Amino acid sequence: MLRVSIAVAEAIEHNQPVVALESTLISHGLPFPQNLEVATALEAEVRNNGAIPATIGVVGGVPTVGLEAHELERFARGGARKLSRRDLAAAIAQGADGATTVAATMSLAAAAGITVFATGGIGGVHRGADRTWDVSGDLTELARTQVLVVCAGAKAILDLPATLEYLETLGVPVFGLGTTEFPAFYSRSSGLPLPALTDPAEVARIWLAQLRGSAYAAPGGMLLCVPPPAETALDRDYVEAAIVRALARAEVAAIRGPTVTPFLLAAMAEETSGESIATNIALLRNNARTAAVVAVALQHQQ
C-alpha cells in the first residue's frame, strides 16, 4: 500500500541521505501558485545540500513517498484532505487525495525507512487547552515514531510553554541548533531554554545513538529546533499582538478542530500584512537546508 518514487527508493537502497517533506503546507498553508513554488524550492534546497527530497502525501488513496512534479501541482491546486495519522486509513479506503501533517508524514516516512524530516513548525498544545483539550497529534507521534524532526519550534499561535512541558512528559528529546532558546516560529526567541548543539555532526551522533539504543534511549523521535533566519524573523511582541487579534477572530467565527491552525495562519498573514508568510517561507527553506546537512552527516557516521 506504500508507493515510493524511483529516486527515493534508489537512495534508500544505496544508503544515501533522504529528507522527508510534508504536503500540508502545499494544500493548506499557502495560496496557488506560491505553494507550488515553495514546494519546489524546498526540494531544491534538499538536493543542493546533498540529500534526496521525499515529499509525502496520499494520492488517490495511495500513500506516496516522493511526490512527482505533476502530483505536487495537483496538491497545490486544491482539493486534498488534511491528514493526520488517524485520517490515513479513511483516505486510503476512500481513494482520496490527502496532504500529510507532521504526524502523518512521520508515520509514512518511518514506514519507508526515512529518519530525517524537515517542516516549518510542529503542532502542539493550543492556547486554552485547559478548556478545549485541543492538543496536536504531532506530539504523541513524536513519542512513538523514530524520525528526527527539524523545525522552527512549534507554531507561535500555540501555548509554547505547555507544548514543551508535554514533550518532556512524553520523553521526546528537544535540542536547539544555533540557539539556546525554543524558537517561537516567526521569532527567534521565546524565553524558554533549550540544550544547544554545536553543529550538524553532533546532531547526527545523538540521533544515531537514539536510533541504535532502543533498549534504553527514548523510543520515539527527536526535535531539532532551528530559529528563523535573522533577516526575516519578526519581533516577538509584534507577533504576540497579532496572535491575540487572530485568536479573537477565531473565537468570533467559532472555529474549532482541524480548521483552527489554517484559519489562524491565514489571519496572521492579514494581521502582519504578509510579513508572517515571508518569515514562514524563509524558515521552511532554512529547515530544509539544515535537515539535508544533518542527513548527510548521519550517512557519514553509519
**Annotated catalytic residue 155:** yes
- CB-based contact 139:123 (threshold 8 Å): yes
Q: Which residues pair with 174 in a beta bridge?
A: 223
For helices 137-144 and 160-170, the axis angle rounded to 10 degrees is 30
Q: Cα–Cα distance between 224 and 205 in angstroms, integer? A: 13
Grid coordinates belonging to 244? 491575540
Radius of gyration of the chain measured on its C-alpha atoms:
18
Q: Which residue among the candidates 22, 71, 141, 181 is catalytic per the annotation?
A: 22
Q: Which residues pair with 56 in a beta bridge?
A: 65
Q: Cα–Cα distance between 147 and 105 in angstroms, integer? A: 10
In Å, what is the CA distance from 117 to each residue of 78, 235, 256, 260, 263?
23, 27, 28, 24, 25
Grid coordinates belonging to 176? 536547539
Q: Which residue among the candidates 43, 155, 181, 271 is catalytic per the annotation?
A: 155
Grid coordinates belonging to 237? 511582541
Residue type, 105: T
User: What is the 8-class DSSP label of residue 28?
Assistant: I
Grid coordinates belonging to 181? 532558546
Residues involved in catalysis: 22, 155
